[in-house]
Amino acid sequence: MSPDDRQLTRRKFIHYSAAGLAAASAGGVIGACSQSGGSLPTRTLGATGLEVSLLTFGGGSQFLLNEDGEWEAMLERAIDLGVNFFDTCSSYQWGASLSSEERFGEILSPRRDEVLIATKFESRDPAEAMREFEQSLDRMKTDHVDVLMLHDIVPSEDISALEKGVYAELLRCRDEGSARFIGFSSMDSAEMSREAIEKLEFDVALLAMNPTGYGDFVTETLPAARAKNMGVLAMKVMRNIVGDETTPDELIRYALSQEGVASALIGHHGMATLEENIGIVQNLAAGEEFVMTPAECERLETRLAALAGPHALCWARPGYVDGMVC
C-alpha cells in the first residue's frame, strides 16, 4: 500500500470500501457503459433502467446566460453529439426572455423521442405544486416528463409532511404516467436528503457533489441512494471551482468516479464550453483511463478543501436560489 493510500481518512475509507471500489479501474466502468445515439457513452440510471449520457444538460443559470440566437444551436448541438438527458425547473428564468422550460419546449419537443426530460417544482403545497407541473408540461410542449422532482431538499424539511403532501402527488403523477419516474434535488442538506431516501421511495436523486467536500453528499447521502439502487446525478460539479487549482477534466472524472453516480449534470454558458465538456466525455468513451482511485480522489479533495464554503461557492451563500445568476 502506498503512502497516499494510507493517508485516506477513516470516514472516506469506509465510504469507498462500501462502494466496493468497483470504480477503481477504467475497464470496469467503461464496461458498464453503452453508447448513446450520438458519440457519448451512457450509464444506467439506477433501477429506472434509463440509459443516460455521462454528461447531461443543466437548464439553470449558466444555460440562461446564453442569449437568444445562441441557446437554440446549443441545444441542437448537444443532442447531435449524444447528450440525451436535459434537466430544468419551473422557476428557472432569471431575466431571460424565455424560461428554461420554454427554451426546452422550442427545441426538445420536435426531438422528443431522442431525449429524456426532467423538471422540478418548488412548492410544498400539493395543489400549487401540481399547477406548477401543469404549466411545465405546457411550456415544454409535452404530455409527460421522464423524471419529475421535488426541488431542493433543505435542512428544515419535514419529511413526514412531504410524505403526506407533495410526495403523494409525485406518486400519483408516476401512476398516471405524466411522470415516468420521480425524485428530488438537493444542494443544501445531505442529512435530510439521506432521510428522504431512507423513508420514502424515490427513483432519482440530483445531488451536489464535487471534491471541495461542501455539503458532504458523497459520504452522507450517496451510500443511502446506492443501497436502494436509486438513479443518481451529480450537480454543482464545477461551478465556482474550475481555476488555477483544477480543471474541468479532473472535476468531471471525480464526479463520475463516485460509485453509483450515473452522470454529471452541468450547465453551459457558450458553445465552446459545451463542446469542451463533451470532448472530455468523448475521450472517456475512447477508452482513456479516467476513473480516479480513492487515493486520487483524496488528493483532489485535500487540494480543493479551501473552496468549501460561501466565500468561494456562490450557490452556497444565504439567500441563493438554485438557478439564480451570481
Q: CATH assignment of 3-315, given 3.90.480.20, 3.20.20.100, 3.20.20.80, 1.20.1600.10? A: 3.20.20.100
Helix (H) or strand (E) holding 295: helix 294-304
Which residues have C-beta within 8 Å of that of residue 189, sequence separation ≥ 6?
153, 154, 155, 157, 215
Which residues have C-beta within 8 Å of that of residue 15, sequence separation ≥ 6?
218, 219, 222, 223
Domain ranges of the chain: 3-315
CB contact burial 128-143 (16+ within 10 A = b; e otherwise): ebbebbeebbebbebe
For the chain, 326 residues long, give each residue's pLDDT as a single digit of tens: 444 443 444 344 444 444 433 443 333 343 356 655 567 999 999 999 999 999 999 999 999 999 999 999 999 999 999 999 999 999 998 777 899 999 999 999 999 999 999 999 999 999 999 999 999 999 999 999 999 999 999 999 999 999 999 999 999 999 999 999 999 999 999 999 999 999 999 999 999 999 999 999 999 999 999 999 999 999 999 988 998 789 999 999 999 999 999 999 999 999 999 999 999 998 876 655 678 889 999 999 999 999 998 888 887 888 877 666 77
Decide: pTM greater than 0.85: yes
Is there a contact between 267 and 239 (Cβ–Cβ < 8 Å)?
Answer: yes
